[in-house]
Structure 1
Amino acid sequence: MSTLNLTLLTDLYELTMMQGYFESQSSETVIFDAFYRQNPCGNGYAIAAGLEQVIDYIKKLRFSEEDISYLRGLGMFHEPFLAYLKNFRFEGDIYAIPEGSVVFPHEPLLKVIAPIMQAQLIETAILTILNHQSLIATKAARVVRAARGDGVMEFGLRRAQGPDAGVYGARAAVIAGCVGTSNVLAGQLFDIPVKGTHAHSWIMSFPDEYTAFKTYAKLYPDACTLLVDTYDTLRSGVPNAIRVFNEMRDSGIQLKNYGIRLDSGDLSYMSKKARQMLDAAGFSDAVISASSDLDEYLIDSLKTQGAAITSWGVGTNMITSRDCPAFGGVYKLAAILDEKTGRFIPKIKLSENTDKVTNPGNKKILRIYDRENKKIRADLICLEDEVFHETEDLLIFDPLETWKKTRIKGGTYTLREMLVPVFKNGACVYTSPSVMEIRDYCTREKETLWEETKRFANPHNVYVDLSDRLYDIKRELLNQMGREGLA
């Protein structure tokens, strides 16, 4: 993204709609919400990620002469519209939930307030950026949870769906809690830790395994993790690693950041046997790391079996979110500004599928925390101008199953507004934290979730409720549409 012009990273219909608005002289200010409908991976929450790349995209949004020439060559666009594109700039407002936040279905991760042509153009790029990184961050959060405090390394570059997916997937994985990545370009771009050992080919290129280990240890005495399963893990690999560790210690090298890596076989059995051998040789602080098509379920199972593994390298299943390859975020019109009154007119999208009916209007999200334990009680989607006081009782209800109500007593909860200003009048007013700062923030965010919400199977869903005013507007619009349908 630092070198490519991404202005044409859009679906064709965004541009054809833009031309339609241009020729009909439609310039209304509108509100679009970017949100998703279901948590990925069967999770009880998602992790928001990708905002920094959205900011970069918006800042650089310009149609070059090459872009204009290409569009002219399609034979679909008229010269007055192409002339307009030459001076195109985003001049609107954007609000977003900060990266690393835990988020839930149907609440806007990002809100755009802009002239309709500008808001329309940026839809595709916003979705592809947020959808991908939020998906990988959510998957990585599950893997990190399964590791129960052990370090998780992101090892997926060679299996990612292309370079960008590998680079930005690594970024998202670190945000969600991974301790580092094998991806050197990601390390350079985002200043995140890069780590790695060696491949089986290193062992095979030497006359024997011992010589390969010894040579590697001489090169990297302070980061000596040896891959022990090239030939025979327990009869050859671990004994040769112990032989090299003994030689290092005897030569006066203070062993640190050292150990072995397992990449095949029964990882539980192999790790326990290897642990016994290392401990018997006096290397009880040697790390045993593991890779080999790991995911959260296998790691959780290995931990339950008592595997002697304390470091995990996770590749394919995390960088591709193999069991859930799409996030499903959407971008929907929520309101149009009435220039005469200066008020936004709510808009709603209907569907035969209840889950696809949108929430209308200019909205904000209030997160409700338990004052005592700081855990999330619910999220409340309400209108931008609504005010609530923490000293007053708060009655919330499920917008679909309205008989499900909860009264939260005043003084027992705190409120936090989740959407923060990112662009105002086309100018960026937000400074993105570093990836490692976002990682620390994400760790704190995950601590606000109840354990029941974090379980892998059938997690408890955090309620995302509508305020009374917003619910009434939505209901009136639905009733109005129903009356028009009968007319």
Structure 2
Amino acid sequence: METKEGAALHTDLYQLNMMQTYVKKGLQDKNVVFDMFFRRLPFGNGYAIYAGLEHIISYLTNLEFKEEDIEYLRFLGFDEGFLQVLKSLRFTGDVYSMKEGEVIFPNEPILTVEARIIEALLVETALLNIFNHETLIATKASRVKHTAGDKQVVEFGARRAHGLGASLYGTRAAYIAGFEGTSLVEAGKRFDIPVVGTMSHAFVQSFEDEKEAFRAYGEENKDNVILLVDTYNTLKTGVPNAIKVAKELNEKGIKVKAIRLDSGDLAYLSKEARRMLDENGFSDIQIVASSDLDEYVISDLKLQGADLDMYAVGTRVITAYDQPALGGVYKLVEVIEGKERIPKIKVSDNIEKIVFPGRKRPYRIINRNTGKSEGDYITRFEERLPQIGNNLLLFDPFSPWKQKIVEDYQAIELQEKVINNGERCTTPPSLEEIRNNREASLEQLWEEHKRKKNPQKYYVDLSEDLWNLKRTMIEEKRKEYNES
């Protein structure tokens, strides 16, 4: 079942164990900063699409422990004093985030939480759950839509999704990424997404013959007549029967909108079906394809000259079929003691797992001459964006000898405050506004970053101050464990 908004027990046990320890030690009010980010792009893609922010805001602003939650934790053996703290616990921190629909890249702070440590710990699991799932689906859907180009793509995957909540929010993520509709009625109702429906093979089989099934469906679904033509034989019975029924329905003032192909050689069948429809005066009837489609199948269909108007994509988007997890993380980067902010770093033998320390500001560097993004640039929170005239030096933090100077640029700060003292402080955008943000963000990327295979790497650079802070803290930690 879908996780209820604000469900406080949607957390891992060790979070509650740590929270109880802080309460017993009197440290529960220590203020901290956590960054949420991911380390590697999914699907071999050149970018990811941020999805799930509205879900996260709803979760945080409705967070509370119900009486039955407290009873269950009492059953697990938690201390009574700790349970009394939980009864009145709400999220009272601040949250800074990139906009939903934004194009995002590894190792940059997508969302930042500044809160009491017990609050920041409690919400980690839910935030990552939402971010990892919805961003993964949005990114996969964006690949599919980019491949489909100007052809419509609709989401048909609810029955294959990993649970009710996954299908609902996965559908929303696909819509953010550019899909034009869904078969899932609940998603249409909840998020105002256009709903699309055809018929099933079972419907056709339940009638004495194909024509009778088509006729009955057309008469009772006058505004959305889409006929499934592959139940028996696509070209010998399905399309011919659809044409015969379309002529009958025309006489009653009913138009057949489309036929759907769900099996077989979709490229060949679509071309033959198009020819048959056109020869019978039905050039306005569209052809919809389904059957385990993804960006690779759609690309091949286009190369083979398939004559299709719409793609209905299900399993391979809603389950993120070729990569089951994004791998987003949530890491402590700063501890606040009074007016002092103390950067924190996690050190690892794996260079990709070394966290950028401290509170930060991510920027997108836009070349004013081309309107395209030259890279993202992360500074320490308190520093000004360095400029030498109109030039900015960018370098790869993992290979600092790789450098370039950007001339005449605009720096767009990517994070904004979305929750202040536990309360939302921004106007909720419509889903259409989020889609438009995704489209504008993608438009800033060079086509080389959007390739399905071997895309050009997009660099996320560090300011010199942040890079030096990271190096200094690594050296300090190395010195500590060498002396221990």
TM-score (norm 1): 0.96
2:422 pairs with one of 400, 421, 426:
426
| 2:5–2:59 CA contact under 8 A, matched in 1 | no
1:369 pairs with one of 352, 366, 371:
366
Take 1:156 and 1:225, find their aligned partners in 2: how far apart are those partners? 18
| 2:132–2:325 CA contact under 8 A, matched in 1 | yes
| 1:48–1:100 CA contact under 8 A, matched in 2 | yes
1:351 alignment counterpart: 348
1:164-243 → structure 2 map (5 Å cutoff) = 164-243=165-244
Is residue 72 of structure 2 the alignment partner of residue 70 of structure 1? yes
- How far is the alpha carbon of 1:396 from its aligned partner? 1.2
1:319 alignment counterpart: 318
Specify the code of the residue in structure 1 equivalent to 2:392.
L
Describe the SS at the equivalent of 2:412: strand
How well do the aligned residues superpose, as a CA RMSD in angstroms? 1.3
Is residue 436 of structure 2 the alignment partner of residue 440 of structure 1? yes
1:383 alignment counterpart: 380
Specify the code of the residue in structure 2 equivalent to 1:74.
L
1:137 alignment counterpart: 138
Specify the code of the residue in structure 2 equivalent to 1:128.
N
| 2:30–2:116 CA contact under 8 A, matched in 1 | yes
- How far is the alpha carbon of 1:485 from its aligned partner? 2.0
| 1:398–1:465 CA contact under 8 A, matched in 2 | yes
Is residue 31 of structure 2 the alignment partner of residue 29 of structure 1? yes
2:396 alignment counterpart: 398
Take 1:244 and 1:438, find their aligned partners in 2: how far apart are those partners? 41
User: Bigger shift: 59-68 or 160-169?
Assistant: 59-68
Take 2:289 and 2:441, find their aligned partners in 1: how far apart are those partners? 28
2:460 pairs with one of 454, 459, 464:
464
2:52 alignment counterpart: 50
Specify the code of the residue in structure 1 equivalent to 2:63.
L
- How far is the alpha carbon of 1:372 from its aligned partner? 2.5
- How far is the alpha carbon of 1:2 from its aligned partner? 8.5
1:408 alignment counterpart: 406
Change (3 A) 1:100 1:5: closer
Is residue 80 of structure 2 the alignment partner of residue 83 of structure 1? no
Query: What stretches of structure 1 of length at least 5 have no aligned partner?
Result: none
- How far is the alpha carbon of 1:3 from its aligned partner? 5.0
Is residue 101 of structure 2 the alignment partner of residue 105 of structure 1? no
Describe the SS at the equivalent of 2:400: coil
| 1:190–1:434 CA contact under 8 A, matched in 2 | no
Take 1:3 and 1:463, find their aligned partners in 2: how far apart are those partners? 37
Take 1:39 and 1:239, find their aligned partners in 2: how far apart are those partners? 46
Specify the code of the residue in structure 2 equivalent to 1:231.
Y
2:20 alignment counterpart: 19
1:253-332 → structure 2 map (5 Å cutoff) = 253=254, 255=255, 258-332=257-331
- How far is the alpha carbon of 1:470 from its aligned partner? 0.5
Take 2:282 and 2:222, find their aligned partners in 1: how far apart are those partners? 15
Describe the SS at the equivalent of 1:397: strand
| 2:7–2:65 CA contact under 8 A, matched in 1 | no
- How far is the alpha carbon of 1:223 from its aligned partner? 1.4
Change (3 A) 1:99 1:110: same
Describe the SS at the equivalent of 1:335: strand
Report the count of equivalent residues.
480
Take 1:317 and 1:149, find their aligned partners in 2: how far apart are those partners? 20
Q: Deviations over 1:134-185 (max 9, x none)?
A: 0000000011111111111100000000100010100100000000111111
- How far is the alpha carbon of 1:271 from its aligned partner? 0.3
| 1:136–1:172 CA contact under 8 A, matched in 2 | yes
- How far is the alpha carbon of 1:90 from its aligned partner? 1.2
Take 1:471 and 1:280, find their aligned partners in 2: how far apart are those partners? 67
| 2:334–2:341 CA contact under 8 A, matched in 1 | yes
Take 1:349 and 1:36, find their aligned partners in 2: how far apart are those partners? 15
Change (3 A) 1:307 1:127: same
Describe the SS at the equivalent of 2:65: coil
- How far is the alpha carbon of 1:388 from its aligned partner? 2.5
Take 1:386 and 1:354, find their aligned partners in 2: how far apart are those partners? 25
Describe the SS at the equivalent of 2:231: coil
Specify the code of the residue in structure 2 equivalent to 1:140.
A
Q: State the identity %.
A: 50
| 1:261–1:288 CA contact under 8 A, matched in 2 | yes
1:39 alignment counterpart: 41
Take 1:252 and 1:6, find their aligned partners in 2: how far apart are those partners? 52
User: Bigger shift: 40-49 or 369-378?
Assistant: 369-378
Take 1:107 and 1:127, find their aligned partners in 2: how far apart are those partners? 15
| 1:174–1:436 CA contact under 8 A, matched in 2 | no
- How far is the alpha carbon of 1:389 from its aligned partner? 6.7
Change (3 A) 1:368 1:216: same
- How far is the alpha carbon of 1:5 from its aligned partner? 5.2
Take 1:171 and 1:323, find their aligned partners in 2: how far apart are those partners? 20
- How far is the alpha carbon of 1:471 from its aligned partner? 0.6
Specify the code of the residue in structure 2 equivalent to 1:145.
H
| 2:390–2:409 CA contact under 8 A, matched in 1 | no
- How far is the alpha carbon of 1:187 from its aligned partner? 0.9
| 2:36–2:109 CA contact under 8 A, matched in 1 | yes
Specify the code of the residue in structure 1 equivalent to 2:433.
E
- How far is the alpha carbon of 1:373 from its aligned partner? 2.6
Specify the code of the residue in structure 2 equivalent to 1:351.
S
- How far is the alpha carbon of 1:428 from its aligned partner? 1.0
Specify the code of the residue in structure 2 equivalent to 1:336.
V
